[in-house]
Amino acid sequence: MNIRHKIIIASGLIGIAVISRFVPHLWNMTPVGAVAILAGARLGKWWGIGVPLVVMAMTDPILGLAGLPIMLVIYGSFALYGLVGFLMKETNRTRAVIGGSLFGTLSFFFATNFAVWFFGTMYPHNFSGLMTSYVAGLPFLQNQIIGDLFFTATLFLIWELGLVLAHKLRPNSKMNVCVSGKSNIVV
């Protein structure tokens, strides 16, 4: 895949994620993490890191910002989703997609709730306050697990269906399938 194709795909992923942050949705149920995983897995490490950061940078000034230290943890957590995607780039296995999604979600949950406790003033700065922060975040975690699993599975399925469709539309193209199951159309 050449750079032009990567830019087009990344732009589409950014568009999907940006729009999703502005339409009504349950808290923490957007495809930002899923977009990062797919970008990392199919476009490369820097795309996986950059795409969600662009989404957040475009939408946060409108939706509202937390304090700088908390924002850095949030952005770092979304960058981690992209790295997770990059690490699973050679596979389409259902276990890897589910595991990557859950790892991203749980990392986000633990890191961001810790940051809210550590840098914020909502909770006492002791073990009880930290646990209270995590308990208060459980409804958001539930939404994010459901959203991340759904959107990650959907995006990977669309990617694979797109490859099959591209092959059918260009039957003379070569379709390489790696042992790991990752397919790639060469035109």
The DSSP result for 104-169, as a single string, is HHHHHHHHHHHHHHHH-SSS-SSHHHHHHHHHHTHHHHHHHHHHHHHHHHHHHHHHHHHHHHHHHH
Taking alpha carbons only, the member of 24, 157, 178 closest to residue 101 is 157
Q: How many CB atoms lie within 10 A of CB 4?
A: 8
- Residue 173 pLDDT class (50, 70, 90 cuts): low
- Is 90 exceeded by the pLDDT of residue 166? no
For the segment 91-141, what is each residue's pLDDT rounded down to a tens digit? 768 888 999 999 999 999 999 999 999 999 999 999 999 999 999 999 999
- Residue 17 pLDDT class (50, 70, 90 cuts): very high
Q: Cα separation of 141 and 52, whole Å?
A: 19
What local confidence, expressed as pLDDT, does residue 183 receive? 46
What local confidence, expressed as pLDDT, does residue 92 receive? 64
Q: With beta carbons less than 8 A apart as the criterion, state whether 37 and 100 touch.
A: yes
For the segment 18-65, what is each residue's pLDDT rounded down to a tens digit? 999 999 999 999 999 999 999 999 999 999 999 999 999 999 999 988
What local confidence, expressed as pLDDT, does residue 150 receive? 97
Encoded amino acid at 86, one letter: F
Average pLDDT over residues 75-101: 90
What local confidence, expressed as pLDDT, does residue 185 receive? 36
Q: Per the confidence metrics, is the pTM higher than 0.85? A: yes
Encoded amino acid at 100, one letter: G
What local confidence, expressed as pLDDT, does residue 1 receive? 82
What local confidence, expressed as pLDDT, does residue 9 receive? 94
What local confidence, expressed as pLDDT, does residue 36 receive? 97
